[in-house]
Structure 1
Amino acid sequence: MTRWALAEPARWTLLYGTPVQGDAAPAETTNAAGTRVTRRVLEIAADAAWEGGDQAREGVDQAREGGAPAEDAPALAPAVRELLTQTLAEFDVDAAPETAVRAITVWSGLVGVLSAHLFGQLGADAVALGEDVLRPQIEVLADVIAPR
């Protein structure tokens, strides 16, 4: 994704740039394609949670059942928990809402990091470094889902 964004900044901007106010793309033709990457990030986060061992699986099951989530889990308001549960079900991803929060945070961070770079918000010196300046930021984001 990073290489594609750097090679295709105009296309990146079309997909992830500031939307035109009042313009709404037709959901029937854009939702499936527009959520493909988000779904994949959710799947990666779910896989990481399941691969974390028995404690991670127990934490996922407890959180899903409304029990006490893991100690390092983000606090979720009931309405947020419900929305995330519905989203995970729609995407057919077996994960706890807390896992979804991590995935969405990483996805939002990745879009932000790439956009800041492509739109020159990190400065000309950072832009000149290309992927080298992006790599450590992306590694930090990846650690949110699967700490090294």
Structure 2
Amino acid sequence: MSATPKPLTARERARIEFTRDIKEAARRQLAEHGPDGLSLRGVARDIGLVSASALYRYFPGRDALLTALITDSYDSLGDAADAAVAAAAGRDPGERWLALCHAVRDWAVARPHEYALIYGSPVPGYAAPADTTGPGTRLPFLIGGLFAEAAAAGGWRPGPAPAAPEDARQALQPLLARLPWEAPADLVVAGLSAWTYLCGAVSFEVFGHRSAIVTEPRAYFDHEIRRIGTLLGILPAPAA
């Protein structure tokens, strides 16, 4: 039996609430000015502080605050994807791939500035620390797990494609070493391509690159991810 968690002190609760206020103000700054315009001074002003000095006890600088926002966004997106896959439990991996894709799109459309923070242009002068790697790999590992599950069940049926050459396999070694399962390089390439194509499709919509040529974005997206899933072998090809 697990021990009962120790109740938070008033100071601990206040710190949690103030940290939340800081992050909410920072997200408003992101929406209005983008990552380049994020500053502790602006956040302090937004939450009614005379100076930013009080914030340094919570975040030692802009980069620390930016890292917290990035981590939160990755985790929020990962939670949405996880929930969609869990809600489709019992269905085959291809159907869960579709559920995951729609959850990613819905999250990004509802939170475009947070999506831009993690999948948009790099923030000048900012280098993401290793702390963001775990949250940042949740989505691709979840996708890869679906492809691995499909392959294990005999349901991965990729179309004609060149096998990964040796130099490509060597390029994948850092990823292969981190996978929680063993998988052939071609399967890993398929999962990595699925993540790339999914985020590419979402990015084109969120950043308005095809707003003038796609009038029903959700319907088109649904067709697009089905097509991608079929080409990469996690969905069966339609009957002739």
The TM-score normalised by the length of structure 2 is 0.49
1:16 CA drift (Å): 0.5
Q: 1:18 aligned to 2:121?
A: yes
Counterpart CA distance in 1 for 2:224 and 2:169 is: 28
Maintained 8 Å contact 2:226/2:235:
no
For structure 1, which runs of at least 5 residues remain unmatched after alignment?
57-69
Q: Which residue number in structure 1 is paired with residue 202 of structure 2?
A: 114
Maintained 8 Å contact 1:85/1:96:
no
**Which residue of the other structure, out of 84, 98, 123, is the alignment partner of 2:172?**
84
Q: What do the CA deviations read for 1:79-128 (whole angstroms, capped 9, x no partner)?
A: 321343552331212211000111111110011000001111112452x5
Over the matched positions of the two proteins, sequence identity in percent amounts to: 31
Maintained 8 Å contact 1:6/1:118:
yes
Q: Which residue number in structure 1 is paired with residue 150 of structure 2?
A: 48
Query: Structure 1 pair 85/93, CA: closer, same or farther in 2 (3 Å)?
Result: farther
Counterpart CA distance in 2 for 1:104 and 1:71 is: 16
Q: Which residue number in structure 1 is paired with residue 227 of structure 2?
A: 140
Counterpart CA distance in 2 for 1:6 and 1:15 is: 14
Question: Of the two, which has the highest radius of gyration?
Answer: 2
Maintained 8 Å contact 2:159/2:233:
no
Count, aligned residues: 131
Name the aligned partner's letter for residue 146 of structure 1: I
Question: Per chain length, whose mean CA-contact separation is higher, i.e. which structure has more relative contact order (CA < 8 Å, sep 6+)?
Answer: 1
Q: Which residue number in structure 2 is paired with residue 62 of structure 1?
A: none
1:21 CA drift (Å): 4.7
Q: 1:38 aligned to 2:140?
A: yes
- Aligned CA-pair RMSD: 2.3
Q: Which residue number in structure 2 is paired with residue 123 of structure 1?
A: 211
Q: Which residue number in structure 1 is paired with residue 163 of structure 2?
A: 75
1:26 CA drift (Å): 0.6
For structure 2, which runs of at least 5 residues remain unmatched after alignment?
1-103
The TM-score normalised by the length of structure 1 is 0.77
